[in-house]
């Protein structure tokens, strides 16, 4: 560890986030986007648990997440609380990675190679005419609801892990991976992109079906778990829009994004987008009232800050591949370059990877990025309040 005073670190981090939310941070916060796949894909840390095991047994899912949080708190320095929790663990989730929504719509999950993926099932477009979702909670994958009930039951029982209780389980399906991304999961990327040219009416029918059922599902899950809609600051994603030109995005996807935010949000919105989406971002911001972008490594964040101005929060975007295979010196230089690109104008920038730490990434590389963020992300003076 490059830092041993956990109490001092935690106090400083708490104060930093208070500053950030007031709009007057003394430096750029630094986080890492990571999840239990770091354990599951590493034989030295998996304890023999595979993703198939993790998905099949909610108790294994719960305990693996808590093992992950313990490892993260003890091993990965960032602007989050370090050390074992005094009272309660971090919020846990019903975690089907990027396959849960596709599975809810009917995709099988394939674990070949260790990572889960959705298997497209709409090879015959006519099957869409007969596709029904009877129960908006269960969809076509009841095990997600069953996993939620199991983990929520553990929270209610006061179940403990290493002497600390669970704090809460997040409700699944509060957001969406995005209608176009789900369409790709259901039909296949090549097939959907060909459909844009060969059968645009089908694409609209598919996206209309997905959007209608997504809204229905989110509202039903919200009611079942005690959350009401619309909400302030609704968060969603749609990574696969990177395949689209601006014209195709406006024609095929934007109308369904608008339906989502009109049904589920009453204020500014937040979005995660991986991939090469720079050409879409001003339109996404203007049309969907976005005030937070979490972005992948292909985006030129300095240019984006110039395009969008100082009032939008930007999060990103050091390459996960660089963090995995680069030298600490190269990582420091990349962080320095990003922080000096103009992206910090307005003090609404969060330095993180772009997007999701790769299994087996060396801890010393993460430490190098964190220290670079603290060194080069410091603001020269305080904003007036």
Q: What is the pLDDT of residue 1?
A: 40
Adjacent-strand bridge partners of 290: 269
**Residue 123, domain CATH:** 3.20.20.210
Q: Is residue 210 part of a domain?
A: yes
pLDDT of residue 2: 46
Residues 328 and 367 in one domain: yes
User: Do residue 333 and residue 246 come from a single domain?
Assistant: no
Are the C-beta atoms of residues 280 and 241 closer than 8 Å to each other?
Answer: yes
pLDDT value for 249: 99
Note whether residue 98 is domain-resident: yes
117 phi and psi angles, rounded to 5 deg: -145, 155
Query: Is the per-residue pLDDT at 188 higher than 90?
Result: yes
Domain enclosing residue 369, as ranges: 1-80+296-378
> Is the same domain home to 134 and 71?
no
Residues 162 and 210 in one domain: yes
Note whether 300 and 319 are same-domain residues: yes
Chain-centre distance for alpha carbon 305: 21
Strand partners, 118: 109
What mean pLDDT is predicted for residues 379-385? 64
Do 26 and 130 have their domain in common? no
DSSP state of 239: G
**Are the C-beta atoms of residues 301 and 339 closer than 8 Å to each other?**
no
Q: Considering the chain, what is the average pLDDT of its residues?
A: 97
Average pLDDT over residues 12-40: 98
Indicate whether 54 and 90 sit together in one domain.
no
Residues whose CB is less than 8 angstroms from the CB of residue 222 and which lie 6 or more positions away in sequence, other chains included:
171, 174, 228, 229
Last residue within a domain, chosen from 232, 252, 268:
268
For 284-298, the pLDDT digits (tens) are: 999 999 999 999 999
Residue 363's pLDDT band, with cuts at 50, 70 and 90, is: very high
This prediction has a pTM of: 0.96
Percent of the chain with pLDDT strictly greater than 90: 97
pLDDT of residue 382: 57
Average pLDDT, integer, range 115-125: 98
- Compute the average pLDDT of residues 121-142: 97
């Amino acid at each position: 560890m490059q830092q041993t005073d956990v109490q001092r670190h935690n106090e400083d981090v708490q104060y930093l986030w208070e500053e950030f939310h007031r709009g007057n941070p003394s430096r750029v916060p630094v986080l890492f986007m990571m999840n239990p796949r770091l354990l599951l894909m590493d034989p030295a840390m998996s304890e023999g648990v595979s993703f198939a095991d993790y998905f099949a047994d909610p108790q294994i899912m719960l305990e693996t997440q808590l093992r992950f949080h313990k490892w993260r708190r003890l091993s990965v320095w960032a602007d989050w609380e370090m050390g074992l929790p005094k009272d309660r663990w971090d919020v846990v989730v019903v975690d089907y990675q990027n396959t849960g929504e596709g599975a809810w719509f009917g995709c099988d999950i394939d674990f070949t190679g260790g990572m889960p993926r959705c298997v497209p099932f709409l090879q015959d477009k006519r099957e869409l005419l007969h596709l029904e979702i009877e129960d908006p909670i269960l969809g076509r994958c009841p095990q997600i609801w069953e996993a939620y009930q199991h983990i929520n039951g553990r929270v209610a029982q006061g179940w403990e892990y290493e002497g600390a209780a669970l704090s809460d389980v997040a409700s699944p399906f509060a957001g969406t991976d995005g209608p176009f991304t789900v369409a790709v999961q259901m039909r296949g990327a090549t097939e959907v992109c060909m459909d844009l040219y060969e059968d645009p009416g089908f694409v609209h029918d598919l996206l209309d079906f997905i959007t209608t059922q997504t809204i229905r599902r989110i509202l039903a899950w919200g009611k079942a778990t005690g959350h009401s809609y619309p909400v302030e600051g609704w968060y969603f994603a749609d990574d696969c829009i990177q395949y689209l030109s601006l014209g195709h995005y406006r024609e095929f996807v934007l109308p369904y994004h608008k339906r989502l935010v009109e049904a589920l949000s009453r204020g500014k919105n937040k979005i995660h987008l991986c991939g090469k989406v720079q050409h879409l971002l001003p339109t996404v911001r203007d049309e969907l009232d976005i005030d937070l972008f979490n972005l992948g490594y292909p985006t030129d964040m300095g240019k984006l800050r110039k395009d969008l101005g100082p009032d939008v929060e930007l999060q990103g975007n050091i390459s996960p591949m660089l963090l995995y295979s680069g030298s600490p010196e190269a990582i420091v230089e990349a962080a320095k370059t990003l922080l000096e690109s103009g992206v910090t104008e307005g003090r609404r920038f969060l330095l993180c990877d772009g997007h999701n730490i790769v299994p087996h990434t060396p801890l010393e590389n993460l430490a190098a990025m964190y220290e670079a963020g603290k060194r080069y992300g410091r603001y020269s003076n305080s904003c007036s309040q």
